[in-house]
Amino acid sequence: MQNPSRRQLLQAGASAMFGLAFSPVLARSSDSVLPKGPINLVVPFAAGGATDVVSRLVAQKLGDRIQRTVVVENLSGGGGAIGAAKVARATPDGHTLLMGTIATHVINPLSMGQQLPYRAQTDFTPVSLVVTVPNVLLVNKSVKATNVRELIALVKAQPNQFSYGSSGVGTPPHLSGELFKSTMGLQMTHVPYKGGGPAMTDLIAGHIPILFDVLSGAASHIRAGSVRALAVTTSERVASFPDLPTMVESGVPGYETWTWNAVFGPAGMPRPMVDALSGALHEVVAQPDVQAQLKDLSATPVGSTPDALTQLVDSETQKWQAVIKSIGGLKKD
C-alpha cells in the first residue's frame, strides 16, 4: 500500500476541520463537560524546541478560549517517552493532556517495543491534530558546504569525521538523519539530545557540525543567520522559506520526512469532554492571528476530529515502519 504524502494528510485534515466546524456534537457542547480548574499540557521535550514553541502558543489560546488555565510542563527524555508515559498514567479527567508527536505515538512504539513504558494504541485518547511541520537540514556556519551536494561530498571525503545532532533517539529528526545516511551511503555519528533546543544551542556553538531539526523550532535561528539551512525534508518547498530547496531537489532521491503535533489525553476520557476540547482546539488554530503565527514558524495549522487523528496515527505507523525497516532498524547511540 502506498504511504500517504504530506499533501494528502493536510487535505484529510482540512476535510476533518470542515466536518468538525459543522458537527452537531460541537453545537451541543458546553462548559459543563470541560475539566474544572487548570489543565496541564505535558510537552515531552525540552523547552525551546519546536514542540515547545507550538505548544505554548496553543496553550495560551486554548486557555483563553475555554476560560481555563492551561500550563505547559516540559518533561523531556527517552525521545518523548517519559512525558508520554506520565500522561498515559494520569486520571482521564481532562486535567492532564499531552502534546504528542510522531515520536511518541509512532516511532517509539516501532523502535522500543515492549521496553516502551506505555502502549500508544490503547493508553491514550486522541483529541486533535494541531499542526504538521517539515524537518530541516542545518549546518554550523563554519562548515564548508553551502548546499546539500557539497555537504555530501564533504562527508564522503572524511568518513566518520562528522556527527549530526537531533532532538533524541527515535525522533523524526533522528530518522531524517538516518534516512539521509542510508540513501546517500554516508558515515556519520548520531548525537542525541533531550530536545531540539539543546541541540540547536550546540549547533550554534559549533559542538556539532550538522543538525536535523523541526523547522518550526529552527525558523528564528535561520532568519537570524546563526545557522545555515540547506534543505527542507518535505517533497515540496515551504512558503515561509521559498528559497530553501527540498532534499530531492538537492540530489537525495525519494527523500521525504516531516513531523506533527497533536493533543492526546489518557485512555478513558469521556467522549463529550474529548469533543469539546477537540472543537476548542479547532477554533484556536482557525483564528487568523494563530494561523499567522504558526505559519511564521513554518507550521501548517490543521485541527481535526479525534477519529481523524486516530487514522493519521495508523497511516503514519505504516509509513515509518517502512522507513525504519529500510535503514535496518534503530541503533541506540
Q: Are residues 222 and 316 in the same domain?
A: no
Q: Are residues 160 and 277 in the same domain?
A: no
What is d(CA 255, CA 249) in angstroms, rounded to the nearest whole number?
10
Can you give the pLDDT at residue 258?
A: 86
Question: pLDDT (tens digit, 9 = 90+) per residue, 148-165?
Answer: 999 999 999 999 999 999
Q: Are residues 63 and 107 in the same domain?
A: yes
* pLDDT > 80? residue 93: yes
Residues paired with residue 265 on neighbouring β-strands, in sequence order? 125
Q: What is the largest CA-CA distance in the chain?
A: 64
Note whether residue 1 is domain-resident.
no
Q: Are 277 and 263 in contact (CB under 8 A)?
A: yes
Can you give the pLDDT at residue 274?
A: 97
Q: Are residues 125 and 149 in the same domain?
A: no
Q: Which three-class secondary structure state does DSSP give residue 70?
A: strand
Confidence of residue 332 (pLDDT cuts 50, 70, 90): low
Question: What is the residue range of 95's domain?
Answer: 6-132+259-326
Can you give the pLDDT at residue 127?
A: 97
Instruction: Report, in this order, helix, strand and coil percent for the chain, each rounded to 5.
Output: 45, 20, 35
CATH number at residue 224: 3.40.190.10
Note whether residue 94 is domain-resident.
yes
Q: Are 232 and 219 in contact (CB under 8 A)?
A: no
Measured at the alpha carbon of residue 331, what is the angle toward residues 325 and 333, in degrees to the nearest 5? 155
User: pTM (2 decimals)?
Assistant: 0.77
Can you give the pLDDT at residue 168?
A: 84
Question: pLDDT (tens digit, 9 = 90+) per residue, 111-137?
Answer: 888 899 999 999 999 999 999 889 999
Domain termination site, one of 197, 232, 267: 232
Mean pLDDT in residue range 44-54: 89
Q: CA torsion angle for 288, 292, 293, 297 (degrees, to 10)?
A: 150
Question: pLDDT (tens digit, 9 = 90+) per residue, 251-280?
Answer: 999 998 888 999 999 999 999 999 999 999
Confidence of residue 2 (pLDDT cuts 50, 70, 90): very low
Domain termination site, one of 187, 213, 232: 232
Can you give the pLDDT at residue 235?
A: 86
Measured at the alpha carbon of residue 29, what is the angle toward residues 28 and 30, in degrees to the nearest 5? 115
Can you give the pLDDT at residue 169?
A: 79
Q: Are residues 215 and 266 in the same domain?
A: no
Cell numbers representing residue 126 in the block: 486522541
